[in-house]
Amino acid sequence: MATHHSVDPSHAAQALRTLDGDRTRLAVAARPPAALMVALGALAAWWVGAAAGTSPGAGYTPPTSSWLAVAAAVGVAYAVRTRTGVRFRRAGARATITAAALVAVCLVLYSVSLALVSAGATWAVALTSLAAFAAVTWLSTVAYRAAADHVARA
Amino acid sequence: MSRAPEPRFDEIIHAPVRLRICGLLRRVDQLEFGLVRQTLDVSAPTLSKHLRTLTEAGYVRLTKSPDATRADARLLTWIHLTPCGTAALDAHLAALREIVGTEH
């Protein structure tokens, strides 16, 4: 059996290099599933679009679709984990910041949608909804890639 | 601030496939069996055999969960490096770095 003293330094160095290579391969293998990222974008578009059915002002009540969207997003996140086969311990600063930006973008677009509805431009909510779809699909992909890259960087 | 691990060569972890399994698990919470097999490019029986050794040593824990994305009843096997396994791996990597003579 190998012992501490019988291991050749070049063999030990090779073992360490192999571990680095494995982490890089893992980051590549754990690609974000495009269909599920699009599903997250569609959920964001649906939520932002729901602003069109509200009455901004003193009598404003948030649409029930907000809770449904959150529940559906949790379901998609679970599906992402199952599909990729990775449960991250830490996503890293870049992924965390990107995820926070994703939430912020949704909130801003929802607020803009409410403002458009109160200004009588309900039709324009289609544009904010479209923007939410594009932004969330892109940002969720970027956040996932950042988390996978964090694994590769030892 | 965490202390650098004391170098300790571990015969169980040192087997190439087992070292690679633990190395992959070190940076994540859990990995699915199929992804580990694909990343390491080893057969399922080979991976199972090494996982059994690591599990018996208390270095790895396996859990099963249903795959909601599939129509059949196949369960997913998730692999998790235990705290004991993490400590053993860190000590083993420190020993390898000591042999190499660098802080890698």
Q: What pLDDT digit, counting tens, does each position of A26-76 carry?
A: 988 888 889 999 999 999 999 999 888 887 777 777 778 788 888 999 999
pLDDT, mean of residues A83-88: 88
Give the dihedral of Cα atoms A34, A40, A42, A47; nearest 10 deg: -170
Q: What pLDDT digit, counting tens, does each position of A11-28 carry?
A: 899 999 999 999 999 988
Domain span at B28: 11-100
Domain membership of residue B1 (yes or no) is: no
- pLDDT classification of B23: cutoffs 50, 70, 90: very high
ipTM above 0.85, yes or no: no
Domain membership of residue B4 (yes or no) is: no
A73 and A124 Cβ atoms separated by less than 8 Å: no
Domain membership of residue B6 (yes or no) is: no
pLDDT value at position A44?
Answer: 95
**CATH, residue B28:** 1.10.10.10
Q: Is A19 within 8 Å of B20 when comparing Cβ atoms?
A: yes
Tokens of A36: 């599920």
Report whether pLDDT(A3) > 90. Answer: no
A132 and A74 Cβ atoms separated by less than 8 Å: no
Residues of B in contact with A87 (CB under 8 A): 28-31, 78
The span from the CA of A101 to the CA of A108, in Å, is 10
Split into its structural domains, chain B has a count of 1
Q: Is A130 on the interface with B (CB under 8 A)?
A: no
Residues of B in contact with A150 (CB under 8 A): 27
Domain membership of residue B70 (yes or no) is: yes
Domain membership of residue B93 (yes or no) is: yes
